Amino acid sequence: MKNNERTRKNIIIEKRASVSPIITISITLISIVMALIFVSVFLFAKGYHPVEIYQMMFTRAFISKYGLTETVIKAIPLMLAGLGISIAFRMLLWNIGAEGQIYMGAFAASGIALAFPDLPRIVLLPAMLLAGFVMGGLWALVAAIPRALWKVNETITTLMLNYIAILWVSYLVFGPWKDPQGFNFPLTREFSEGAAYPLLFGTRVHFGIIIALLVALVLYVVLNYTRWGYEIRVIGESESAARYAGMNVMRNILLVMFLSGGLAGMAGMGEVAGVAHRLQAGVSPGYGYTAIIVAWLGKLNPWVIVLIAFLFGGLTVGASAVQSVGLPAATSVMIQGAILFFVLGADIFMRYRISFNRKREEG
Amino acid sequence: MGKDVLIDMRHITKRFPGVVANDQVTFKVQAGEVHALLGENGAGKSTLMSILSGLYRPDEGEIVIRGKRVTLKSPRSAIDHGIGMIHQHFKLITPFTVAENIALGSLDQSFKLDMKKIEQKVAEFSQKFGLHVDPQAKIWQLSIGEQQRVEIIKVLYQGADILILDEPTAVLTPQEVEELFVTVRKMAKEGKAVVIITHKLHEVMNISDRITILRKGKTIRTVAKGEVDTQELTQMMLNREVKTEIHRKPVPKGKAVLTLDKVSALGDKGLKALDDVSLTVREGEILGIAGVAGNGQRELTEVITGLRMATSGKVLIDDQDMTNQSPRMIIDAGVSHVPEDRMGMGLIPNMDVTNNIILKDYRRGSLGKGLLLPLNKAREMAENIVRNFDVKTPSVDTPVRLLSGGNLQKLLLAREIAENPRLIVTSYPIRGLDVGATESIYNLLLHQREQGRAILLIAEDLDTIMKISDRVAVLFKGKVMGLEDTDQATIDDVGAMMLGESPLEGREA
């Protein structure tokens, strides 16, 4: 009887004392594989061979020159918006309004481009970038001010503001800003030469990639090496400690939300200056939402966000490739969702150690 | 002795990552005795009792209850063996009534609740053991002492005859402690075994029959109370000669640093929490604030440090009006604050020692004012503080959540006195600390007093307040009940004031 008891199987769940980077990386990779397996069930049910499909997606997104170019182009707005979201998330401000902030940034940048088409590029582009940044930031402030003053839930307000921003841009391109020579398409006039981002490496990759990488660098330095970054980190960890230390929490909520929205606004500017060269209704096909996933999977670390944005850009491009065999482009959304689901679910394995061991028999 | 051995824990070993919390610990409890489990923080008392109450499982060793070897898989199975634990933080549902809370913890309820039966039982227990509490009262209406009684009734109702009380007196007034001890004695008389986890020596000598001393995870000895005195117990706990005496040298009192003039403020629920409070703290003086927790202490510290608005009255610091100024202004005026909530307000658990040390200095003093934070200097500063104040930490890059309670408090206090403050506001600085850590915290405070700092000390342990403070004020329902020199007041006077009796009545009694 004694032995019986001793050999019983136990499941032991214990908190990890510390989490090594190896554990973090391997658990993340395993959960991505799990997500792909999960999605393959659906692919299989639809009569496709999952491995072939994934191979097709991978080849298109990362192997071919055309595909790689597209991947980088799609990654640029994800990087900027993801970085913007990450800084708000660090302070536990749930800005899910990046989509709207992208649209408002695109709107402001387009306004400048259309109003001053004859300005030289060296003046016009910075002006557009600044306008996009400020407009995106202001749009975020619309939600941040009630949050700071009366604790109005910013998750709801930032989300609602997305719809307003998207409809505002629609109104402009269907109405007052519609190109008279545009055969009634909902588009503005094409921008002048000076309003277009230079292209790099003889590909369609535009200057926005440099901006995005610079932003990641600046954010990294600000967060880790400046007094302001220290305040942001403290407020994110504990608001009551921040107040106790004499930090102005309200001012920081406003500043961080402005910066967060501003970076998303820069993403919107990049789309009109680097890709579309005009304002149109679908400036962003949901970059602002995907960027939330990017920020989260990137653990709010600027460099990891850049990497994840690149992978997610590839996912979108890959999914467009499989349309040729009859799969919808929404496959990429499904994979994104599954990856997020599994990575978040795997969080418990990072914080706890679970072992299935038999109790020692000696004694 | 002929008494039944109820619990026999043999060679218990429990390891956590990096530490051996219990190392071959042996612990025996007999029926009908009050057994104190004594030891410093980190000695392994809580781990041992968590094993006994089914929360942890030992890596090695065996537990024998009433002569039978058992495996305690969960708190439930501990209860089935008659073991009930009363935790330091009560696990009661505040909007529910006493009877409902008891029903929640019991097994014998069918689909329909039989409240009559519970109320009957409660009445029986309250008569038998002096556990007076109204079964129909809601928990939030009860005092802390009454809530503790509910917890005790809860485990008695579950059929426990081995009760484990984890630091039961930490939150009680002296009168409530006396009542608790009466109950404990009655339960022992009925043949129940009571284990009290504590590090307060005078309580050990007062209540227990036998004492087991743990040190660094090992059993040092089990002794009967009559065999030892407090001096010997302290030595066994610490394994070094300590003088528990606190020496308060006479220090000349300077000018007033903090003056409160008829200050009132609201609590979190919008009710008046401070009512016309007037106080002065001078250079070289410690003013102790006594009182049962929840009588305005927290609000008092928050009003002084700018974290809460005063609705009327004035707060002066060095004759400057600081009423309702921002926390930053008040910090810059030289006010340090060691808050009650160490983890979360005073320290940030997930940040490392360096980042916690610079919480206030990141924008002033030797770290300068530029855009970039001089990380090397910050590190140096942290290393200095860790060295000078003897904070035990693997390195300054260690997240502070991994430090022990005593070291956390040292770190916090060290940061708060490092910039030579004018006034130190400190709440419950020794709560949860063991003898060794308590002593070093008190010596730090006394040293600050000798340096001419003004100190406002909020504490719950009357003995120490009386020893360390120059004057003592008692807060009751947001009012100052009395303000006396500690050399003249007696503990009984202060204890009476804590329960709302005016000092004059106290004197006459």
Q: What pLDDT digit, counting tens, does each position of B33-52 carry? A: 999 998 876 678 888 988 99
Q: How many angstroms separate the CA of residue B6 from the nearest CA in chain A?
A: 21
Which residues have a Cβ under 8 Å from the Cβ of A165 and sit 6 or more positions away?
A99, A100, A101, A103, A104, A107, A139
Quote the CA–CA distance of B373 and B493 in Å, as a whole number. Answer: 52
B362–A227: do the CB atoms touch at under 8 Å? yes
B331, B347, B371 ranked by CB distance to A227: nearest: B371
Predicted confidence (pLDDT) per residue in B102-142, tens digit: 888 776 656 677 778 888 888 888 888 888 888 888 888 88
Confidence of residue B501 (pLDDT cuts 50, 70, 90): low
Count the alpha carbons within 13 Å of B191 in the hemisphere toward its beta carbon. 4
Residue A361 pLDDT = 38
Q: To probe the interface with A, which of B59, B359, B379, B425 has the most A CB atoms within 10 Å?
A: B359
3-state secondary structure B301-336: HHHHHCCCCEEEEEEEECCEECCCCCHHHHHHCCEE
Domain boundary among B420, B436, B468: B420
B451-464: buried (b, 16+ CB within 10 Å) or exposed (e) per residue? ebbbbbbbbbbbeb
Closest CA relative to residue A125, chosen from A192, A74, A65: A192
pLDDT of B252 higher than 70 = yes
Regarding whether B412 and B426 lie in a shared domain, the answer is: no
Please check whether residues B107 and B204 belong to one and the same domain.
yes
**Helix and strand tally (H, E) in chain B?**
17, 20
> Which residue from B329, B331, B375 is facing A225, i.e. has the nearest CB?
B375
pLDDT for res A9: 53
- Show the tokens assigned to B137: 């009262």
Q: Which secondary structure element, helix H or strand E, spans residue A111, and what is its range? A: helix A98-115
Q: With an 8 Å Cβ cutoff, is B55 touching chain A?
A: no
Chain-centre distance for alpha carbon A83:
7
Rounded Cα distance between B499 and B482, Å, is: 12
Q: Do B372 and A226 touch (CB under 8 A)?
A: yes
Q: Would you say residue A104 lies in a domain?
A: yes
For residues B125, B129, B131, B136, the Cα torsion angle rounded to the nearest 10 degrees is: 10
Q: Which of A226, A238, A243 sits opposite B371 (nearest CB)?
A: A226
Provide the token pair at A142.
């619309």
Q: Is residue B402 located within the same domain as residue B431?
A: no
Residue A227 lies in a domain: yes
Q: Got the DSSP string for B349-398?
A: TTSBHHHHHTTTGGGSGGG-SSSB--HHHHHHHHHHHHHHTT---S-TTS
Residue type, B84: G
Q: Is B251 exposed, middle or buried (0-12, 13-18, 19+ CB in 10 A)?
A: middle
How many angstroms separate the CA of residue B472 from the nearest CA in chain A?
26
Residue B2 pLDDT: 47
Contact A246 B348 (CB under 8 A): no
B307 contacts chain A (CB < 8 A): yes
The pLDDT of residue B317 is 93
Digits of tens for pLDDT over chain A (363 positions)?
334 344 445 566 666 656 677 877 888 888 889 999 999 998 888 888 888 888 888 988 888 888 899 999 999 999 999 999 999 999 999 999 999 999 999 999 999 999 998 999 999 999 999 999 999 999 999 999 999 999 899 999 999 999 999 999 999 999 899 888 878 888 888 888 888 998 988 888 999 999 999 999 999 999 999 999 999 999 999 999 999 999 999 999 999 999 999 999 999 999 999 999 999 988 998 999 999 989 988 888 899 999 999 999 998 888 888 888 888 878 888 888 888 888 888 877 777 777 665 444 333
Residue from A231, A238, A251 to probe the interface with B (highest B Cβ count within 10 Å):
A238
Number of domains in chain B: 3
Q: Are B382 and B366 in contact (CB under 8 A)?
A: no
pLDDT at B159 over 90: no
* Element of type H or E holding B102: helix B98-104
ipTM over 0.85: no
CB A102 within 8 A of CB A83: no
State how many domains chain A has: 1
Instruction: Report if residue B434 sits inside a domain.
Output: yes
Are the beta carbons of B363 and A227 separated by less than 8 Å?
A: yes
What would the DSSP string read from start to end of A175-192? Answer: TTT--TTSTT-SB-PPPP
Domain around B496: 245-334+422-509
In a domain, A173, yes or no: yes
Is A216 among the domain residues?
A: yes
Are B294 and B393 found together in one domain? no
Contact B154, B102 (CB under 8 A): yes
Judge whether B151 and B92 are in contact, CB under 8 Å.
yes
Among chain B residues, the shortest Cα distance to A15 is held by B17
| Per-residue pLDDT, B415 | 92
Report DSSP letters for B284-305, one per residue. Answer: T-EEEEE--TTSSHHHHHHHHH
How far CA B26 is from CA of A103, B22, B50, in Å, comes to 70, 10, 15
What is the SS3 assignment for B247?
coil
pLDDT at B506 over 80: no
Sign of the CA dihedral running A332, A333, A337, A343: positive
Q: Which residues of B86-116 are buried (b: 16+ CB within 10 A; e: fewer)?
A: bbeebebeeeebbbbbbbebbeeeeeeeebe
Give Cβ neighbours of residue B3 (< 8 Å, ≥ 6 apart): B30, B31, B32, B33
Residue A34 lies in a domain: no
- Give φ, ψ of B21 to 5 degrees: -75, -40
Distance between CA atoms of residues B16 and B404, nearest Å: 14
- What is the distance between the alpha carbons of residues B46 and B196, in angstroms, rounded to a whole number? 11
Which of A229, A243, A363 has the CB atom closest to B327's CB atom? A243
Q: Which residue from B458, B438, B428 is spatially nearest to B341, judged by alpha carbons?
A: B428
Choose one of B238, B260, B294: the last residue of a domain: B238
In angstroms, the separation between the Cα of residue B366 and the nearest Cα of chain A is 14
Q: Among A230, A237, A241, whose Cβ lies nearest the Cβ of B362?
A: A230
Burial class for B185, CB neighbours closer than 10 Å (0-12, 13-18, 19+): middle
d(CA B163, CA B171): 19
Q: Which two tokens stand for residue B102?
A: 């008891």
Contact B423, B258 (CB under 8 A): yes
Q: Which of B327, B341, B350 sits opposite A246 (nearest CB)?
A: B327
Quick check: A162 and A293 in contact, CB under 8 A?
no
The answer to whether the beta carbons of residues B346 and B410 sit under 8 Å apart is no
Alpha-carbon distance of B252 to B246, in angstroms, equals 18
SS3 B233: helix
Mean pLDDT of chain B: 84
pLDDT the model gives residue A17: 59
Residues B132 and B219 in one domain: yes
Are residues B451 and B325 both part of a single domain? yes
Assess whether B70 and B187 both reside in one domain.
yes
Do B210 and B126 share a structural domain?
A: yes
Residue B361 identity: D
- For residue B327, the distance in angstroms to the closest alpha carbon of chain A comes to 5
DSSP string, A203-242: SS-BTHHHHHHHHHHHHHHHHHHBHHHHHHHHHHH-HHHH
CB within 8 Å of A85: residues ≥ 6 apart: A95, A96, A98, A260, A264, A291, A292, A294, A295
Whether B309 has its CB under 8 Å from any CB of chain A: the answer is no
Instruction: Number of A to B CB contacts under 8 A, please give it.
Output: 72
Answer yes or no: do B131 and B215 share one domain: yes
Q: How many CA atoms lie within 13 A of B435 on its CB side?
A: 25
Residue B507 CA neighbour count, 13 Å, CB half: 7
Q: Within an 8 Å CB–CB cutoff, is residue B426 touching chain A? A: no
Same domain, B219 and B273: no
- Cβ contact (<8 Å) for A238 and B348? yes
State the Cα angle at A18 between A13 and A20, rounded to 5°: 110
For tokens 């419950």, name the residue.
B428
Question: Measured between alpha carbons, how far is residue B297 from residues A26, A287, B170, B472, B500 in Å?
Answer: 49, 51, 16, 13, 15
Asked, for residue A154, whether it belongs to a domain, the answer is yes
Residue B461 lies in a domain: yes
Q: What is the DSSP string of A10-62?
A: EEEEEE-S---HHHHHHHHHHHHHHHHHHHHHHHHHTT--HHHHHHHHHIIII
Mean pLDDT (whole number) for B289-308 = 88
A228 contacts in chain B (CB < 8 Å): 371
CA of B406 vs chain A CAs: smallest distance (Å): 20
Q: Which of these three, B209, B238, B267, is where a domain ends?
A: B238
Task: Judge whether B463 is closer than 8 Å to chain A, CB to CB.
Answer: no
Residue A347 counted as domain residue: no
Rounded CA gap, B398 and B319, in Å?
41
Distances B367 to A281, B370, B375 between C-alpha atoms, Å: 51, 9, 9
- Domain with residue B69: its CATH number is 3.40.50.300
Q: Is residue B339 in a domain?
A: no
What the block records as the tokens of A168 is 């505002």
B365 in reach of chain A (CB within 8 A): no
Task: List the one residue out of B355, B29, B60 whose CA is nearest residue B162.
Answer: B29
Helix A302-321 with A287-297: angle, nearest 10 deg: 130
Sheet holding B471-476, edge to edge: B335-338, B423-427, B454-458, B286-290, B471-476, B479-485
B331 neighbourhood in chain A, CB within 8 Å? 245-246
Which of chain A's residues have a Cβ under 8 Å away from the Cβ of B348? Answer: 234, 237-238, 241
Residues 6+ apart with CB under 8 A from B265: B272, B273, B274, B299, B302, B303, B308, B309, B310, B311
A222, part of any domain = yes
State which residues form the domain around A209. 75-297
Interface check B421 vs A, CB under 8 A: no
Angle at B194 between CA B190 and CA B199, to 5 degrees: 150
How far apart CA A330 and CA B262 sit, in angstroms, is 67
Q: Tell me if residue B424 falls in helix, strand or coil.
A: strand
Structural domain contains residue B498: yes
pLDDT for the residue B509: 33
Are B104 and B201 part of one and the same domain? yes
Residues of A with CB under 8 A from a CB of B: 5, 14, 16-17, 225-231, 233-234, 237-238, 240-241, 243-248, 363
Of B18, B71, B373, the CB nearest to A17: B18
- Alpha-carbon distance B444 to B438, whole Å? 10
Burial bucket for residue A184 (CB in 10 Å: 0-12, 13-18, 19+):
exposed
Contacts of A247 in chain B (CB under 8 A): 328
* Pair B206, B156 in one domain: yes
